[in-house]
Each structure stands twice: as C-alpha cells, then as structure tokens.
C-alpha cells in the first residue's frame, strides 16, 4: 500500500500496486536465464564431474549433477532479477500500475497527485 498517492477519481489514499510488468518480467527472465545458462550448466557439470572423480564414479555423477543444477539456478536467478528490473520500469512508465481499493479506479503515476 502506498499512502503518498491518492486516487484521481475519489481522492482515497488506499492505493495498491498491480505490478504486472514486474511479475511477468521476472517469470520470463527466470525462464530465459535458466535456458540461457545451459552452456554454463554443462560447463559446471563437467567441472563438477572432474572434481567428483576424486571420490570415484559415484562422486563424479553427483558432482556433475550438482554443477549442472547450480549453473541453471544461478542463471535463473540472474534472469529473474534482470527481468524484474525491466518489468518495474514498464510498470512505472508505461502501464497503469496503481489501483484504488476504495473505488476500483486504475491509474498510472502520471495521473496521480
């Protein structure tokens, strides 16, 4: 809830944000980051398998799985952060991101007082 804004229709200060751009950007960014980190995940899997050889064949398998999984997780997290940042800018400057809880009016920051 953001009390510094008021509804241009009814002047209520019960304003919430919808954040559709941030949510969509985060989801798309996470998916793209995880998919885009496939090469890094494979590299991490190879490194994990090589280091896991110290513990034998079972260590190599678990090291490869852990390296690949960590690569995908880090890529997804980085993509989510970047997508959320872009989505937040879209929410702020393009979309009508604010909704009045009192009357239901939806408006953007440029319309707020």
Say yes or no to pLDDT of 101 above 80: yes
The model's pTM: 0.68
41 and 29 Cβ atoms separated by less than 8 Å: no
- The domain segmentation of the chain, as residue ranges, is 1-18+96-113, 24-95
- Cα distances from 23 to residues 26, 50, 87, 105, in angstroms, run 5, 38, 7, 21
DSSP assignment string, 47-84 = HHHHHHGGG-HHHHHHHHHHHHHHHHHHHHHHHHHHHH
For 14-54, what is each residue's pLDDT tens digit?
A: 999 999 999 999 999 999 888 777 666 666 666 666 766 67
Express as a percent the part of the chain with pLDDT over 70.
Answer: 76
User: How many angstroms separate the CA atoms of 103 and 100, rounded?
Assistant: 6
Q: For residues 111 and 4, which has the higher predicted lDDT (pLDDT)?
A: 4
Cβ 48 vs Cβ 93: under 8 Å:
no
Q: What is the pLDDT of residues 69-89, one digit of tens each?
A: 777 788 889 999 999 999 999
């Amino acid at each position: 809830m953001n009390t510094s804004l008021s509804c241009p229709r009814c002047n209520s200060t019960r304003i919430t944000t919808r954040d559709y751009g941030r949510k969509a950007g985060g989801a798309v960014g996470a998916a793209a980051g995880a998919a885009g980190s496939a090469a890094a995940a494979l590299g991490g899997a190879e490194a994990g398998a090589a280091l896991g050889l110290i513990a034998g064949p079972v260590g190599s398998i678990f090291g490869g799985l852990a390296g690949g999984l960590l690569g995908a997780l880090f890529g997804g997290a980085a993509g989510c952060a970047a997508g959320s940042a872009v989505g937040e800018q879209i929410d702020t400057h393009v979309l009508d991101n604010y909704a009045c809880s009192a009357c239901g009016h939806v408006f953007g920051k440029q319309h707020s007082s």
